[in-house]
Amino acid sequence: MGRLSCFLLSILSLQVLCPNINMFFNQQPVMALPLYTDSRWIVDEGGQRVKLACVNWVTHLEVLVAEGLSKKPVDVISEQILDLGFNCVRLTWPLFLATNDTLASMTVRQSFRNLGLIESIAGLQANNPSIIDLTLINAYKAVVSSLADNNVMVILDNHISKPGWCCSSFDGNGFFGDQYFNPDLWLKGLTRMATMFKTNKNVVGMSLRNELRGPKQNVNDWYRYMQKGAEAVHSANPDVLVILSGLSYDKDLSFLLTRPVNLTFTGKLVFELHWYGFSDGEAWKTGNPNQVCGQVVNNTMRIGGFLLDQGFPIFVSEFGVDQRGTNVNDNRYFNCFLGWAAELDLDWALWTLAGSYYLREGVVGLEEVYGLFNWNWCETRNSSFLQRISALQYPFQGPGLAETSRHQIIFHPATGLCVLRKSLFEPLKLGPCTESESWSYTPQNILTLKGTYFCLQADGLGQAAKLGITCTQPNARWETISDSKMHLSSKLNNGSTVCLDVDSATNVVVTNTCKCLSRDNMCDPGSQWFRLVGSTRQRVSGVRTKSSFRISSVLHALGKNLLGSFGSLL
Protein backbone atom coordinates (compact mmCIF):
# COMPACT_ATOMS: atom_id res chain seq x y z
CA MET A 1 0.00 0.00 0.00
CA GLY A 2 2.96 2.35 0.46
CA ARG A 3 3.25 2.96 -3.24
CA LEU A 4 -0.37 4.15 -3.28
CA SER A 5 0.03 6.62 -0.43
CA CYS A 6 0.50 9.61 -2.71
CA PHE A 7 -2.62 8.49 -4.59
CA LEU A 8 -4.76 8.33 -1.49
CA LEU A 9 -3.29 11.55 -0.16
CA SER A 10 -4.17 13.26 -3.44
CA ILE A 11 -7.77 12.11 -3.13
CA LEU A 12 -8.16 13.18 0.49
CA SER A 13 -6.32 16.50 0.38
CA LEU A 14 -6.12 17.58 -3.26
CA GLN A 15 -6.93 21.22 -2.69
CA VAL A 16 -4.57 21.55 0.27
CA LEU A 17 -1.62 19.79 -1.33
CA CYS A 18 -1.86 21.30 -4.80
CA PRO A 19 -3.60 24.69 -4.49
CA ASN A 20 -4.79 26.43 -7.60
CA ILE A 21 -2.11 29.05 -8.00
CA ASN A 22 -3.76 30.17 -11.24
CA MET A 23 -6.29 32.18 -9.25
CA PHE A 24 -4.91 35.42 -10.63
CA PHE A 25 -4.88 34.59 -14.33
CA ASN A 26 -7.43 32.32 -15.97
CA GLN A 27 -5.44 30.98 -18.89
CA GLN A 28 -7.97 30.05 -21.56
CA PRO A 29 -7.45 26.90 -23.66
CA VAL A 30 -6.12 27.54 -27.13
CA MET A 31 -8.54 26.24 -29.74
CA ALA A 32 -7.46 27.87 -33.01
CA LEU A 33 -4.41 25.70 -33.70
CA PRO A 34 -1.93 25.53 -35.40
CA LEU A 35 0.23 28.43 -34.32
CA TYR A 36 2.05 30.98 -36.46
CA THR A 37 4.29 33.98 -35.95
CA ASP A 38 3.29 37.59 -36.53
CA SER A 39 6.42 39.69 -36.23
CA ARG A 40 7.72 39.12 -32.67
CA TRP A 41 4.50 37.45 -31.50
CA ILE A 42 3.17 33.90 -31.61
CA VAL A 43 -0.47 33.85 -32.73
CA ASP A 44 -3.23 31.34 -33.34
CA GLU A 45 -4.99 30.62 -36.60
CA GLY A 46 -7.27 33.60 -36.04
CA GLY A 47 -4.32 35.95 -35.57
CA GLN A 48 -4.69 36.39 -31.78
CA ARG A 49 -1.67 36.37 -29.50
CA VAL A 50 -0.92 33.07 -27.79
CA LYS A 51 1.62 33.37 -25.00
CA LEU A 52 3.57 30.18 -24.41
CA ALA A 53 3.68 29.68 -20.64
CA CYS A 54 5.33 26.27 -20.52
CA VAL A 55 7.02 23.91 -18.13
CA ASN A 56 9.77 21.45 -19.06
CA TRP A 57 8.94 17.76 -18.60
CA VAL A 58 12.05 15.59 -18.74
CA THR A 59 11.96 12.43 -20.90
CA HIS A 60 15.55 12.29 -22.13
CA LEU A 61 17.31 10.41 -19.30
CA GLU A 62 18.45 6.77 -19.43
CA VAL A 63 15.02 5.36 -18.60
CA LEU A 64 13.46 7.14 -21.60
CA VAL A 65 10.14 7.62 -19.80
CA ALA A 66 8.56 10.89 -18.71
CA GLU A 67 9.56 11.54 -15.10
CA GLY A 68 6.99 11.13 -12.34
CA LEU A 69 4.90 8.32 -13.80
CA SER A 70 5.85 6.06 -10.89
CA LYS A 71 4.38 8.69 -8.55
CA LYS A 72 1.13 9.75 -10.23
CA PRO A 73 -1.18 8.87 -13.15
CA VAL A 74 -0.18 10.66 -16.31
CA ASP A 75 -3.63 12.27 -16.65
CA VAL A 76 -3.41 13.69 -13.13
CA ILE A 77 -0.03 15.27 -13.90
CA SER A 78 -1.37 16.68 -17.17
CA GLU A 79 -4.37 18.20 -15.38
CA GLN A 80 -2.19 19.71 -12.71
CA ILE A 81 0.05 21.31 -15.31
CA LEU A 82 -2.95 23.10 -16.80
CA ASP A 83 -4.45 24.05 -13.48
CA LEU A 84 -1.19 25.54 -12.24
CA GLY A 85 -1.53 28.04 -15.07
CA PHE A 86 0.73 26.49 -17.71
CA ASN A 87 -0.66 26.10 -21.20
CA CYS A 88 2.13 24.03 -22.69
CA VAL A 89 4.91 21.53 -22.01
CA ARG A 90 8.39 21.43 -23.49
CA LEU A 91 8.68 17.65 -23.66
CA THR A 92 12.28 16.55 -24.03
CA TRP A 93 13.42 13.56 -26.10
CA PRO A 94 16.81 12.01 -26.97
CA LEU A 95 17.68 11.52 -30.62
CA PHE A 96 18.23 7.78 -30.22
CA LEU A 97 14.58 7.30 -29.23
CA ALA A 98 13.64 8.30 -32.78
CA THR A 99 16.52 6.65 -34.66
CA ASN A 100 17.29 3.41 -32.79
CA ASP A 101 14.38 1.06 -33.46
CA THR A 102 15.66 -1.54 -31.00
CA LEU A 103 15.71 1.03 -28.23
CA ALA A 104 12.35 2.54 -29.15
CA SER A 105 10.66 -0.90 -29.22
CA MET A 106 11.83 -1.86 -25.71
CA THR A 107 9.00 -1.86 -23.18
CA VAL A 108 8.82 0.55 -20.30
CA ARG A 109 8.99 -2.34 -17.85
CA GLN A 110 12.13 -3.70 -19.50
CA SER A 111 13.83 -0.30 -19.52
CA PHE A 112 13.35 0.06 -15.78
CA ARG A 113 14.32 -3.56 -15.14
CA ASN A 114 17.57 -3.16 -17.11
CA LEU A 115 18.50 -0.27 -14.82
CA GLY A 116 17.54 -2.12 -11.65
CA LEU A 117 14.70 0.29 -10.83
CA ILE A 118 12.39 -2.29 -9.30
CA GLU A 119 10.62 0.11 -6.94
CA SER A 120 9.80 2.42 -9.83
CA ILE A 121 8.26 -0.55 -11.69
CA ALA A 122 5.92 -1.10 -8.74
CA GLY A 123 5.00 2.60 -8.76
CA LEU A 124 4.31 2.55 -12.48
CA GLN A 125 2.17 -0.57 -12.12
CA ALA A 126 0.13 1.21 -9.45
CA ASN A 127 -0.17 4.60 -11.10
CA ASN A 128 0.03 3.93 -14.83
CA PRO A 129 -0.83 0.28 -15.52
CA SER A 130 -1.80 1.14 -19.10
CA ILE A 131 1.70 2.46 -19.84
CA ILE A 132 4.08 0.03 -18.14
CA ASP A 133 4.03 -2.56 -20.94
CA LEU A 134 4.02 -0.12 -23.83
CA THR A 135 7.11 0.33 -25.95
CA LEU A 136 9.17 3.39 -25.07
CA ILE A 137 8.09 5.28 -28.17
CA ASN A 138 4.43 4.47 -27.52
CA ALA A 139 4.81 5.57 -23.90
CA TYR A 140 6.11 8.90 -25.19
CA LYS A 141 3.07 9.12 -27.47
CA ALA A 142 0.79 8.34 -24.52
CA VAL A 143 2.15 11.32 -22.60
CA VAL A 144 1.59 13.59 -25.61
CA SER A 145 -1.98 12.26 -25.92
CA SER A 146 -2.66 12.83 -22.24
CA LEU A 147 -1.51 16.43 -22.56
CA ALA A 148 -3.72 16.85 -25.62
CA ASP A 149 -6.73 15.44 -23.75
CA ASN A 150 -6.14 18.11 -21.12
CA ASN A 151 -5.76 21.00 -23.56
CA VAL A 152 -2.03 21.38 -23.03
CA MET A 153 0.12 22.31 -25.99
CA VAL A 154 3.39 20.43 -26.55
CA ILE A 155 6.77 21.50 -27.89
CA LEU A 156 8.97 18.51 -28.78
CA ASP A 157 12.51 19.32 -27.69
CA ASN A 158 15.44 17.29 -29.05
CA HIS A 159 17.44 17.66 -25.88
CA ILE A 160 20.36 15.31 -26.48
CA SER A 161 21.37 12.31 -28.62
CA LYS A 162 22.45 9.58 -26.20
CA PRO A 163 19.98 9.32 -23.29
CA GLY A 164 21.36 10.88 -20.13
CA TRP A 165 21.73 14.10 -18.18
CA CYS A 166 22.57 17.24 -20.08
CA CYS A 167 24.89 19.07 -20.44
CA SER A 168 28.68 19.17 -20.65
CA SER A 169 31.00 20.56 -23.29
CA PHE A 170 32.65 17.15 -23.56
CA ASP A 171 29.72 14.71 -23.36
CA GLY A 172 29.78 13.88 -27.06
CA ASN A 173 26.31 15.41 -27.59
CA GLY A 174 27.22 19.07 -27.91
CA PHE A 175 27.66 19.94 -31.56
CA PHE A 176 27.41 18.56 -35.07
CA GLY A 177 30.13 15.96 -35.60
CA ASP A 178 30.53 15.05 -31.93
CA GLN A 179 30.67 11.36 -30.98
CA TYR A 180 26.90 11.01 -30.54
CA PHE A 181 25.81 13.87 -32.81
CA ASN A 182 25.78 12.69 -36.41
CA PRO A 183 24.07 15.45 -38.45
CA ASP A 184 22.48 13.04 -40.94
CA LEU A 185 21.07 10.88 -38.15
CA TRP A 186 19.80 14.03 -36.46
CA LEU A 187 17.95 15.10 -39.61
CA LYS A 188 16.45 11.63 -39.85
CA GLY A 189 15.28 11.79 -36.23
CA LEU A 190 13.75 15.25 -36.64
CA THR A 191 11.89 14.08 -39.73
CA ARG A 192 10.59 10.98 -37.97
CA MET A 193 9.31 12.91 -34.96
CA ALA A 194 7.73 15.64 -37.09
CA THR A 195 5.97 12.98 -39.17
CA MET A 196 4.99 10.84 -36.17
CA PHE A 197 3.13 13.71 -34.48
CA LYS A 198 1.76 15.37 -37.59
CA THR A 199 -1.82 14.50 -36.68
CA ASN A 200 -1.44 15.60 -33.04
CA LYS A 201 -2.65 19.17 -33.23
CA ASN A 202 -1.52 19.94 -29.69
CA VAL A 203 2.09 19.43 -30.84
CA VAL A 204 2.56 23.05 -31.80
CA GLY A 205 6.33 23.31 -32.10
CA MET A 206 9.62 21.48 -32.42
CA SER A 207 12.82 22.70 -30.83
CA LEU A 208 15.56 21.39 -33.10
CA ARG A 209 18.35 20.93 -30.55
CA ASN A 210 19.01 21.91 -26.97
CA GLU A 211 22.11 23.87 -25.89
CA LEU A 212 24.61 23.56 -28.73
CA ARG A 213 28.07 23.73 -27.17
CA GLY A 214 31.60 22.40 -26.99
CA PRO A 215 34.92 22.85 -28.78
CA LYS A 216 33.50 22.05 -32.23
CA GLN A 217 30.80 24.71 -32.23
CA ASN A 218 31.09 27.30 -35.00
CA VAL A 219 28.80 29.68 -36.81
CA ASN A 220 29.16 28.24 -40.33
CA ASP A 221 28.11 24.74 -39.28
CA TRP A 222 25.27 26.25 -37.26
CA TYR A 223 23.82 27.79 -40.43
CA ARG A 224 24.56 24.71 -42.51
CA TYR A 225 22.78 22.23 -40.28
CA MET A 226 20.17 24.27 -38.43
CA GLN A 227 18.76 25.50 -41.74
CA LYS A 228 18.64 21.89 -42.99
CA GLY A 229 16.94 20.83 -39.78
CA ALA A 230 14.38 23.61 -40.05
CA GLU A 231 13.56 22.68 -43.63
CA ALA A 232 13.31 18.97 -42.75
CA VAL A 233 10.83 19.62 -39.93
CA HIS A 234 8.74 22.06 -41.96
CA SER A 235 8.62 19.70 -44.92
CA ALA A 236 7.44 16.81 -42.72
CA ASN A 237 4.98 18.90 -40.71
CA PRO A 238 4.26 22.42 -41.99
CA ASP A 239 1.97 23.16 -39.04
CA VAL A 240 4.54 23.25 -36.24
CA LEU A 241 6.60 26.20 -35.11
CA VAL A 242 10.28 25.65 -35.85
CA ILE A 243 12.40 26.71 -32.87
CA LEU A 244 16.13 27.35 -33.29
CA SER A 245 18.62 27.49 -30.44
CA GLY A 246 21.93 29.35 -30.38
CA LEU A 247 25.50 28.57 -29.41
CA SER A 248 27.27 28.43 -26.03
CA TYR A 249 24.52 26.56 -24.16
CA ASP A 250 21.81 28.54 -25.95
CA LYS A 251 23.03 31.88 -24.67
CA ASP A 252 24.39 33.33 -27.93
CA LEU A 253 22.46 34.26 -31.06
CA SER A 254 24.56 37.35 -31.77
CA PHE A 255 25.69 36.07 -35.18
CA LEU A 256 22.12 36.56 -36.47
CA LEU A 257 22.45 40.33 -36.12
CA THR A 258 24.20 40.62 -39.48
CA ARG A 259 23.46 37.24 -41.08
CA PRO A 260 19.82 36.12 -41.00
CA VAL A 261 18.79 32.54 -41.63
CA ASN A 262 17.75 31.66 -45.17
CA LEU A 263 14.66 29.45 -45.23
CA THR A 264 11.99 28.68 -47.81
CA PHE A 265 9.10 29.24 -45.39
CA THR A 266 7.86 32.11 -43.26
CA GLY A 267 5.47 32.58 -40.34
CA LYS A 268 6.85 29.64 -38.32
CA LEU A 269 10.32 30.62 -37.10
CA VAL A 270 11.05 31.16 -33.38
CA PHE A 271 14.39 31.56 -31.60
CA GLU A 272 15.10 30.28 -28.10
CA LEU A 273 17.36 31.46 -25.30
CA HIS A 274 18.33 30.05 -21.88
CA TRP A 275 19.10 32.12 -18.81
CA TYR A 276 19.78 30.83 -15.30
CA GLY A 277 21.43 32.48 -12.31
CA PHE A 278 24.40 30.15 -12.68
CA SER A 279 24.74 31.27 -16.31
CA ASP A 280 26.50 34.30 -14.79
CA GLY A 281 28.60 32.30 -12.34
CA GLU A 282 28.46 33.71 -8.81
CA ALA A 283 28.07 37.29 -10.03
CA TRP A 284 24.69 37.78 -8.36
CA LYS A 285 26.05 36.73 -4.99
CA THR A 286 29.40 38.51 -5.14
CA GLY A 287 28.36 41.65 -7.03
CA ASN A 288 25.90 44.47 -6.50
CA PRO A 289 22.51 43.19 -7.76
CA ASN A 290 21.60 46.45 -9.49
CA GLN A 291 24.84 46.56 -11.40
CA VAL A 292 24.79 42.85 -12.25
CA CYS A 293 21.18 43.05 -13.42
CA GLY A 294 21.90 46.00 -15.68
CA GLN A 295 25.01 44.37 -17.14
CA VAL A 296 23.42 40.95 -17.72
CA VAL A 297 20.19 42.31 -19.23
CA ASN A 298 22.13 44.57 -21.58
CA ASN A 299 24.31 41.65 -22.64
CA THR A 300 21.32 39.36 -23.14
CA MET A 301 19.66 41.93 -25.37
CA ARG A 302 22.89 42.34 -27.30
CA ILE A 303 23.40 38.62 -27.96
CA GLY A 304 19.78 37.58 -28.45
CA GLY A 305 17.11 40.07 -27.44
CA PHE A 306 17.69 42.16 -30.56
CA LEU A 307 15.74 39.52 -32.50
CA LEU A 308 12.51 40.97 -31.12
CA ASP A 309 13.26 44.19 -32.99
CA GLN A 310 14.02 42.14 -36.09
CA GLY A 311 10.51 40.70 -35.94
CA PHE A 312 11.06 37.24 -34.43
CA PRO A 313 9.57 35.75 -31.25
CA ILE A 314 11.98 34.80 -28.49
CA PHE A 315 11.12 31.72 -26.45
CA VAL A 316 13.06 31.57 -23.16
CA SER A 317 12.88 27.78 -23.17
CA GLU A 318 14.80 27.32 -19.92
CA PHE A 319 15.02 29.40 -16.76
CA GLY A 320 14.52 28.49 -13.12
CA VAL A 321 15.76 28.68 -9.56
CA ASP A 322 16.44 26.56 -6.51
CA GLN A 323 12.92 26.64 -5.08
CA ARG A 324 14.04 26.04 -1.52
CA GLY A 325 14.72 29.79 -1.43
CA THR A 326 18.15 29.52 0.17
CA ASN A 327 20.32 30.18 -2.89
CA VAL A 328 21.30 33.87 -2.78
CA ASN A 329 22.64 33.82 -6.34
CA ASP A 330 19.36 32.42 -7.67
CA ASN A 331 17.14 34.67 -5.57
CA ARG A 332 18.77 37.87 -6.79
CA TYR A 333 18.88 36.69 -10.39
CA PHE A 334 15.21 35.77 -10.36
CA ASN A 335 13.98 39.24 -9.41
CA CYS A 336 15.92 40.65 -12.35
CA PHE A 337 14.72 37.92 -14.71
CA LEU A 338 11.06 38.43 -13.83
CA GLY A 339 11.27 42.17 -14.40
CA TRP A 340 12.92 41.64 -17.80
CA ALA A 341 10.53 38.88 -18.90
CA ALA A 342 7.48 40.88 -17.82
CA GLU A 343 8.58 44.07 -19.55
CA LEU A 344 9.17 42.24 -22.85
CA ASP A 345 6.16 39.94 -22.37
CA LEU A 346 8.22 36.95 -23.48
CA ASP A 347 7.18 33.37 -24.16
CA TRP A 348 8.89 30.92 -21.83
CA ALA A 349 9.32 27.43 -20.38
CA LEU A 350 10.20 26.92 -16.73
CA TRP A 351 12.77 24.32 -15.69
CA THR A 352 11.34 22.01 -14.43
CA LEU A 353 8.25 19.97 -13.57
CA ALA A 354 10.08 17.06 -11.94
CA GLY A 355 10.42 16.92 -8.17
CA SER A 356 12.70 13.91 -8.50
CA TYR A 357 14.15 11.60 -11.14
CA TYR A 358 13.98 7.84 -11.55
CA LEU A 359 17.74 7.85 -12.15
CA ARG A 360 20.04 10.79 -12.77
CA GLU A 361 23.81 10.62 -13.05
CA GLY A 362 23.86 7.28 -11.27
CA VAL A 363 21.68 8.38 -8.34
CA VAL A 364 18.31 6.65 -7.86
CA GLY A 365 15.49 9.00 -6.85
CA LEU A 366 17.62 12.15 -7.01
CA GLU A 367 15.68 15.17 -5.77
CA GLU A 368 15.35 18.13 -8.16
CA VAL A 369 15.34 21.35 -6.13
CA TYR A 370 14.47 23.33 -9.26
CA GLY A 371 11.31 21.23 -9.62
CA LEU A 372 7.74 22.48 -9.29
CA PHE A 373 6.78 19.37 -7.35
CA ASN A 374 8.40 18.01 -4.22
CA TRP A 375 10.28 14.71 -4.16
CA ASN A 376 7.20 12.45 -4.15
CA TRP A 377 5.26 14.66 -6.62
CA CYS A 378 2.39 15.01 -4.11
CA GLU A 379 2.79 18.70 -3.34
CA THR A 380 4.04 21.79 -5.07
CA ARG A 381 7.45 22.67 -3.66
CA ASN A 382 6.96 26.41 -3.19
CA SER A 383 3.56 28.09 -3.51
CA SER A 384 5.00 31.62 -3.30
CA PHE A 385 7.15 30.85 -6.33
CA LEU A 386 4.04 29.90 -8.28
CA GLN A 387 2.39 33.18 -7.29
CA ARG A 388 5.42 35.09 -8.56
CA ILE A 389 5.31 33.55 -12.03
CA SER A 390 1.51 33.67 -12.32
CA ALA A 391 1.61 37.22 -13.70
CA LEU A 392 3.86 36.05 -16.52
CA GLN A 393 1.44 33.28 -17.51
CA TYR A 394 -0.85 35.99 -18.83
CA PRO A 395 -0.19 37.99 -22.04
CA PHE A 396 -0.06 41.72 -21.42
CA GLN A 397 -0.29 42.74 -25.07
CA GLY A 398 -0.04 41.52 -28.65
CA PRO A 399 -2.22 40.97 -31.72
CA GLY A 400 -5.91 40.66 -30.94
CA LEU A 401 -5.51 41.83 -27.33
CA ALA A 402 -6.26 45.53 -27.77
CA GLU A 403 -9.01 45.53 -25.14
CA THR A 404 -8.19 49.08 -24.11
CA SER A 405 -5.67 51.78 -24.97
CA ARG A 406 -2.04 51.08 -24.17
CA HIS A 407 -1.06 51.84 -20.59
CA GLN A 408 1.43 50.79 -17.92
CA ILE A 409 1.08 48.53 -14.93
CA ILE A 410 3.53 48.69 -12.03
CA PHE A 411 4.91 45.18 -11.52
CA HIS A 412 6.80 44.07 -8.40
CA PRO A 413 9.04 41.09 -9.31
CA ALA A 414 9.81 40.03 -5.73
CA THR A 415 6.13 39.17 -5.17
CA GLY A 416 4.77 38.77 -8.69
CA LEU A 417 2.08 41.34 -7.81
CA CYS A 418 1.15 44.79 -9.09
CA VAL A 419 0.22 48.14 -7.57
CA LEU A 420 -3.54 48.41 -6.93
CA ARG A 421 -5.90 51.13 -5.71
CA LYS A 422 -8.93 50.05 -3.70
CA SER A 423 -10.21 53.60 -3.28
CA LEU A 424 -8.92 57.16 -3.14
CA PHE A 425 -8.93 56.95 0.66
CA GLU A 426 -7.00 53.70 1.11
CA PRO A 427 -3.27 53.28 0.65
CA LEU A 428 -1.96 51.73 -2.54
CA LYS A 429 -1.25 48.03 -2.07
CA LEU A 430 0.10 45.10 -4.04
CA GLY A 431 -2.37 42.65 -5.53
CA PRO A 432 -3.10 40.50 -8.60
CA CYS A 433 -1.89 42.11 -11.80
CA THR A 434 -5.23 41.44 -13.52
CA GLU A 435 -6.71 43.97 -11.10
CA SER A 436 -3.95 46.52 -11.63
CA GLU A 437 -4.57 50.17 -12.25
CA SER A 438 -3.89 51.61 -15.68
CA TRP A 439 -1.03 54.07 -15.34
CA SER A 440 0.40 56.58 -17.76
CA TYR A 441 4.10 57.44 -17.50
CA THR A 442 4.68 60.86 -19.00
CA PRO A 443 7.87 62.29 -20.53
CA GLN A 444 8.03 64.44 -17.38
CA ASN A 445 8.35 61.23 -15.30
CA ILE A 446 4.88 61.57 -13.78
CA LEU A 447 2.85 58.43 -13.08
CA THR A 448 -0.82 59.29 -13.49
CA LEU A 449 -3.89 57.11 -13.17
CA LYS A 450 -5.01 56.89 -16.77
CA GLY A 451 -8.19 58.86 -17.40
CA THR A 452 -7.94 60.85 -14.15
CA TYR A 453 -6.12 63.87 -12.74
CA PHE A 454 -4.52 61.80 -9.99
CA CYS A 455 -0.81 61.09 -9.89
CA LEU A 456 1.48 59.03 -7.65
CA GLN A 457 3.19 61.07 -4.94
CA ALA A 458 5.82 60.45 -2.28
CA ASP A 459 4.54 61.65 1.09
CA GLY A 460 7.47 61.05 3.42
CA LEU A 461 10.15 58.67 4.55
CA GLY A 462 8.53 55.43 5.64
CA GLN A 463 5.10 56.73 4.66
CA ALA A 464 2.57 55.23 2.27
CA ALA A 465 2.77 56.54 -1.27
CA LYS A 466 -0.39 58.46 -2.12
CA LEU A 467 -2.47 59.81 -4.95
CA GLY A 468 -2.82 63.56 -5.41
CA ILE A 469 -3.79 66.14 -7.98
CA THR A 470 -0.81 68.47 -7.58
CA CYS A 471 1.43 66.78 -10.11
CA THR A 472 4.03 69.45 -10.84
CA GLN A 473 5.99 69.15 -7.60
CA PRO A 474 9.20 67.09 -7.28
CA ASN A 475 7.43 64.48 -5.12
CA ALA A 476 5.23 63.59 -8.13
CA ARG A 477 8.14 62.86 -10.47
CA TRP A 478 9.46 59.30 -10.59
CA GLU A 479 12.73 58.50 -12.28
CA THR A 480 13.93 54.99 -13.03
CA ILE A 481 17.37 54.98 -11.45
CA SER A 482 20.18 52.50 -10.80
CA ASP A 483 21.71 50.20 -13.40
CA SER A 484 18.77 47.82 -13.12
CA LYS A 485 16.34 50.60 -14.12
CA MET A 486 13.94 49.16 -11.55
CA HIS A 487 14.20 51.72 -8.75
CA LEU A 488 11.43 54.33 -8.99
CA SER A 489 12.84 57.39 -7.25
CA SER A 490 11.27 60.68 -6.21
CA LYS A 491 12.21 63.72 -4.10
CA LEU A 492 10.41 64.77 -0.96
CA ASN A 493 9.57 68.42 -0.33
CA ASN A 494 12.63 68.67 1.94
CA GLY A 495 14.86 67.64 -0.98
CA SER A 496 15.72 64.13 0.19
CA THR A 497 15.54 61.25 -2.27
CA VAL A 498 13.30 58.22 -1.67
CA CYS A 499 12.41 55.10 -3.61
CA LEU A 500 9.18 53.20 -3.96
CA ASP A 501 9.16 50.21 -1.61
CA VAL A 502 6.78 47.67 -0.09
CA ASP A 503 5.91 47.11 3.56
CA SER A 504 6.38 43.34 3.78
CA ALA A 505 3.85 43.01 6.62
CA THR A 506 0.95 44.75 4.87
CA ASN A 507 1.87 44.90 1.16
CA VAL A 508 1.27 48.65 1.36
CA VAL A 509 3.34 50.66 -1.13
CA VAL A 510 5.61 53.05 0.78
CA THR A 511 8.67 55.21 0.16
CA ASN A 512 11.99 54.58 1.85
CA THR A 513 15.61 55.54 1.47
CA CYS A 514 16.90 54.06 -1.79
CA LYS A 515 19.06 51.02 -1.13
CA CYS A 516 21.73 48.97 -2.87
CA LEU A 517 22.19 51.41 -5.73
CA SER A 518 25.83 50.51 -6.32
CA ARG A 519 28.92 48.68 -5.01
CA ASP A 520 27.34 47.04 -1.94
CA ASN A 521 27.12 43.27 -2.57
CA MET A 522 25.60 42.40 0.80
CA CYS A 523 22.39 44.30 0.13
CA ASP A 524 19.25 42.98 -1.61
CA PRO A 525 17.22 45.65 -3.43
CA GLY A 526 14.35 43.26 -4.28
CA SER A 527 11.63 45.05 -2.28
CA GLN A 528 12.40 48.29 -4.16
CA TRP A 529 12.48 46.83 -7.65
CA PHE A 530 9.46 47.73 -9.78
CA ARG A 531 9.04 47.38 -13.53
CA LEU A 532 6.69 49.46 -15.67
CA VAL A 533 5.08 46.97 -18.04
CA GLY A 534 3.11 47.95 -21.14
CA SER A 535 -0.36 46.43 -21.42
CA THR A 536 -3.50 46.66 -23.52
CA ARG A 537 -5.58 44.34 -21.30
CA GLN A 538 -8.65 45.45 -19.38
CA ARG A 539 -8.67 45.45 -15.62
CA VAL A 540 -10.56 42.47 -14.19
CA SER A 541 -11.97 42.60 -10.67
CA GLY A 542 -12.77 39.54 -8.63
CA VAL A 543 -11.37 36.95 -11.02
CA ARG A 544 -13.33 33.78 -10.52
CA THR A 545 -11.15 30.82 -9.69
CA LYS A 546 -11.50 27.29 -10.93
CA SER A 547 -11.82 24.40 -8.54
CA SER A 548 -8.36 22.96 -7.99
CA PHE A 549 -7.46 20.50 -10.72
CA ARG A 550 -11.11 20.10 -11.75
CA ILE A 551 -11.50 17.63 -8.90
CA SER A 552 -14.22 15.45 -10.35
CA SER A 553 -12.22 14.52 -13.44
CA VAL A 554 -9.04 14.04 -11.44
CA LEU A 555 -10.79 11.77 -8.97
CA HIS A 556 -12.13 9.80 -11.89
CA ALA A 557 -8.59 9.30 -13.21
CA LEU A 558 -7.30 8.41 -9.76
CA GLY A 559 -10.11 5.98 -9.14
CA LYS A 560 -9.70 4.30 -12.49
CA ASN A 561 -6.01 3.72 -11.87
CA LEU A 562 -6.60 2.62 -8.29
CA LEU A 563 -9.03 -0.05 -9.40
CA GLY A 564 -6.54 -1.33 -11.95
CA SER A 565 -3.72 -1.21 -9.43
CA PHE A 566 -5.38 -3.06 -6.57
CA GLY A 567 -5.86 -6.08 -8.80
CA SER A 568 -2.13 -6.32 -9.47
CA LEU A 569 -1.09 -5.57 -5.89
CA LEU A 570 -3.30 -8.00 -4.06
pLDDT band at residue 6 under the 50/70/90 scheme: low
pLDDT digits (tens, 9 = 90+) for 261-318: 999 999 999 999 999 999 999 999 999 999 999 999 999 999 999 999 999 999 999 9
- Which residues, 6 or more positions from 136, have their beta carbon under 8 angstroms from its beta carbon? 64, 65, 97, 103, 104, 105, 106, 107, 108, 111
- Quote the DSSP letter at residue 158: E
pTM for this entry? 0.92
pLDDT at residue 7, as a whole number? 52
DSSP per-residue string spanning 455-474: EEE--STTSBPEEES--SSG
The residue type found at 60 is H
497-533 residue pLDDT tens? 999 999 999 999 999 999 999 888 999 999 999 999 9
Q: How far apart are the first and last CA of the chain?
A: 10
Cα–Cα nearest to 380, from 526, 543, 562, 548: 548
Measured from the Cβ of residue 541, the count of other Cβ atoms closer than 10 Å reads 8
pLDDT digits (tens, 9 = 90+) for 364-397: 999 999 999 999 999 999 999 999 999 999 999 9
What are the DSSP calls for 28-45, one per residue? Answer: PPP-S-S-EEETTEEE-T
In this predicted model, what pLDDT tens digit does every residue of 322-336 receive, in sequence order?
999 999 999 999 999
Mean pLDDT lowest for which of 154-168, 467-481, 530-544? Answer: 530-544
